[in-house]
Structure 1
Amino acid sequence: MVFFCVYAASCFVAVGKLFSTLFNTDYIYMMILGALFVVAYTFVGGFLAESASDFMQGIVMFLALTVVLIVGTIKAGGISAIIENARNIPGFLEFFGVAQPKVVDGVQQVTQAGTPLFGEAGNYGFLVIISTLSWGLGYFGMPQVLLKFMAIHNPNELKRSRRIATIWCAISLVAAVCIGIIGRVLYPDVFLTYSAAENIFILLSSKFFFPLLAGIIMAGILAATISSSDSYLLIAASAFSKNIYHGILKKDASDKQVLYMSRVMLIIIAVIAMLIALDEDSVIFTVVAFAWAGFGATFGPIMLFALFWKRVNRAGAVAGMVAGGATVFIWKLLIRPLGRYLDIYELLPAFIISCLAIVIVSLCTAPPSKEIQEEFEKVKNYM
């Protein structure tokens, strides 16, 4: 629930930036308006509405990304012109290099001609590479991703859904990066802070297309936002109402009472997320990175151990989740700021510590019951 609040906040920040940029209005009012819209249809529709809307929103996102990418490439003078411009940025296209913008008080400096200034290329060290690759570990613990696979009607469709998900990720991530590079080519002297730079898709859409079409394309941002935020709100609210309220606090609760509590928690979580999202200068990527690490380190290791190690038990699972989640906070807030060799994305050390906690505690406590081990073997043989 803690990390879902952070995740939902990143979505509300995106909504606020979208509408405040489009209509030149106050960010906070637009953020709250977008959040209320998401809460309203999630409140009424539940999981079925969320799943159906995710499918339609995914189509809008896909079309928006590909259309802006194609038109942007043409406007920028073709692929060769884009590559040449990127090559002129020191370190940008080097495999182990990284561009170093000249920044003063968080704002990149530009020449009188409007050309952004860069310093000498930096280098990606071994720790930075490992730290960045650790992003992939997060997928094992994402409830909003795993839940869709768990809810599938026919297990035989899992292979198809896996292929669709992989292809979608590849296309969307490549398109998003390329759109950022195109924006740098066409409008090098706008959005000179990390926070403002996330508005480049909005600018390109409004410049490339007439208003009606631009509105449809920019709906892709809204689609991406609400397709994520509704998942976060619904899963977190359901987890509390079923696992804590029904499972611990009121075991004799009726389905109607559980539904009522789920809706109450949905509103509470949304309010907390809106409070987190009040900062207009929030960088969406930074907010998402923290929540991604939290889910990946808390749930990822135990998901893997539950599938591939028969000896893991309840105590080990709890120890791994607590150790992983706590390490994310400790590493992010206390250890990583020390810099140098400790400046590693918090997901990597938290994931490792969670794995160690699962193994050590499981081996030091009683093994799972015979029924659980038999179920493990049954599932293993089925797979």
Structure 2
Amino acid sequence: MTLSTPMMVTFCIYILGMVLIGFIAYRSTKNFDDYILGGRSLGSVVTALSAGASDMSGWLLMGLPGAIFLSGISESWIAIGLTLGAYLNWKIVAGRLRVQTEHHDNALTLPDFFSSRFEDSSKMLRVISALVILVFFTIYCASGVVAGARLFESTFGMSYETALWAGAAATIIYTFVGGFLAVSWTDTVQAGLMIFALILTPVMVIVAVGGLGDAMQVIAVKSTQNMDMLKNLNFVAIVSLLGWGLGYFGQPHILARFMAADSHRSIRTARRIGMIWMILCLMGAVAVGFFGIAYFENHPEHAGEVSKNGERIFIELTRILFNPWIAGILLSAILAAVMSTLSCQLLVCSSALTEDLYKNFLRKGASQRELVWVGRFMVLLVAAIAILLAANPENRVLGLVSYAWAGFGAAFGPVVLLSLIWQRMTRNGALAGMIIGAATVLIWKQYGWLDLYEIIPGFLFASIGIVLFSLVDKAPSAAAQQRFAAAEAEYQAD
């Protein structure tokens, strides 16, 4: 039996399991509300784990461990920023968004919520926000397809073209068939697989090096700077890394999980579960990269692949340290991270096309069955475009992914946050914040002023724009203020 055979078997079992969940979810999908938000029926555990899995893409098992391996523990500032941002998102946004969307015409999408919250009869908010989602998420989807293809290519020796379809097919199938419930249920399984891999792998690395003390000594001997949290970092660099946390307030695929919870009361429990999962996963990813330094320092004969590409450290440690059957399960965690994020992005794009454009501009009287099937075909459309973009992995458009997180965070983050806590906010304020935030990110990225991560000025200027434009605008209508107050009162009552 070759090394790849047990891996191939475990991968196939895993993929078939995900597709099976999709067909089970199909039976629970009766209308478009079910397809897009699962009928707002997610319990605390599924809400927490699906939000976490949809957030953490292949970066968690490849990008972060690779950065720590190459540069040392100083790269973990980004993990600290993400943890703080995720906690504030759960604490401030999650419960309020669940209640407010229900009070504002049972909004199913962010553009839907913005349009109802600010009584936007012109539909400008709906159109602009839907276009922002489509542009950034289609590119995000392409990056997910590339990540999946690279995993299959490196693990099984496939050609890139074959790996491209192999990596994307299963995700497309279960998202197409089962919609939001399939995505959320598979995310929950995938979250379990990810945390299992990220706890077990660093433990085995430490054991293989000879224990925690020996591992720390080897790392220190190689370079004490690997243990320095401030290595090559100034104040601006640290603020930039922490600033990644601001992105959480504007990520549509994460916010959709809050909107789909069965009640805002379940958010508190979900927050605890979600934060414990996230902290353990991030600590595990950091540990893989950090203690991997010691392992490959002791075993330079195995360091060939990671010397070429540090992001392969989790893959290489798994292949070296584990039985091929266990390695196959652990490597499935990378596929789980890729699939969980890609499926959410496909579904958010589908909902923007179907709910915010097709239903509102082309077929206002469309039946629920029609909308479900249009949503399914929109999944295929977005997936096809993403695969075309990913066909050439060197395509420069994929470079935009590096600031898509910042784009969403700055364009949507301040709008979402202030719309939930400030009753006086107006439609023009929301429109100004969205445009200013997105424009600042795009311009700042081009010029790189101060070496500051573009989400920070984008978020700041968008927030200022919202406040200024809202204050010079006439106050929201009495009906809008009453809806806001009623939703806030319901949220505060519990």
TM score, norm. by length of structure 2: 0.67
Contact 1:316 1:360 in 2 (8 A): yes
SS in structure 2 of the partner of residue 135 of structure 1: helix
Q: Which stretches in structure 1 are left out of the alignment for 5+ residues?
A: 98-121
Match of 2:226 in 1: 92
> Quick one: distance in 1 between partners of 2:171 and 2:259?
23
> Quick one: distance in 2 between partners of 1:193 and 1:292?
28
1:190 to 304, 310, 314: 304
Q: How does 1:10-159 map to 2 (within 5 A)?
A: 10-87=143-220, 88-89=222-223, 91-97=225-231, 122=232, 124-159=233-268
Comparing 246-255 with 223-232, greater Cα deviation is found at 246-255
CA RMSD, 1 decimal: 2.2
Match of 1:348 in 2: 456
Q: Which stretches in structure 2 are left out of the alignment for 5+ residues?
A: 1-133, 298-302
Match of 1:299 in 2: 412
Residue identity in the other structure for 1:312: M
**Structure with greater proportional helix content:** 2
Q: How does 1:180-329 map to 2 (within 5 A)?
A: 180-187=289-296, 189-191=303-305, 196-280=309-393, 289-329=402-442
Residue identity in the other structure for 2:240: S
Residue identity in the other structure for 1:61: M
Contact 1:42 1:49 in 2 (8 A): yes
> Quick one: distance in 1 between partners of 2:365 and 2:263?
32
Contact 1:4 1:232 in 2 (8 A): yes
SS in structure 1 of the partner of residue 304 of structure 2: coil
Residue identity in the other structure for 2:437: G
> Quick one: distance in 1 between partners of 2:385 and 2:224?
42
Residue identity in the other structure for 1:363: L
Match of 2:473 in 1: 365
Residue 210 of structure 1, CA deviation: 1.5
Residue 282 of structure 1, CA deviation: 8.9
Residue 286 of structure 1, CA deviation: 7.3
> Quick one: distance in 2 between partners of 1:271 and 1:153?
33
The alignment covers a number of residue pairs equal to 351
> Quick one: distance in 2 between partners of 1:217 and 1:22?
12
> Quick one: distance in 2 between partners of 1:83 and 1:380?
50
SS in structure 2 of the partner of residue 137 of structure 1: helix
Residue 136 of structure 1, CA deviation: 0.8
Contact 1:297 1:324 in 2 (8 A): yes
Match of 2:485 in 1: 377
Contact 2:249 2:416 in 1 (8 A): yes
Residue 45 of structure 1, CA deviation: 1.0
Match of 2:286 in 1: 177
Match of 1:116 in 2: none
The reply to whether residue 8 of structure 1 matches residue 124 of structure 2 is: no
> Quick one: distance in 1 between partners of 2:208 and 2:182?
38
Contact 1:27 1:280 in 2 (8 A): no
| Structure-2 change in CA distance of 1:305 and 1:130 (3 Å) | same
Residue 365 of structure 1, CA deviation: 1.9
Residue 145 of structure 1, CA deviation: 1.5
Residue-by-residue CA offset, 1:287-344 (whole Å, 9 max, x unaligned):
6542211221121101110121111111211221122122222222x222xxxx5322
Comparing 27-36 with 292-301, greater Cα deviation is found at 27-36
Contact 1:141 1:296 in 2 (8 A): yes
SS in structure 1 of the partner of residue 249 of structure 2: helix
> Quick one: distance in 1 between partners of 2:138 and 2:162?
19
Comparing 312-321 with 265-274, greater Cα deviation is found at 265-274
Contact 1:335 1:342 in 2 (8 A): no
Residue 7 of structure 1, CA deviation: 2.1
| Structure-2 change in CA distance of 1:32 and 1:325 (3 Å) | farther
Q: Any runs of at least 4 consecutive aligned residues in structure 1 with deviations exceeding 6 A, and if so which?
A: none
Residue 49 of structure 1, CA deviation: 0.9
> Quick one: distance in 1 between partners of 2:209 and 2:362?
60
> Quick one: distance in 2 between partners of 1:46 and 1:205?
32
Residue identity (%) = 37
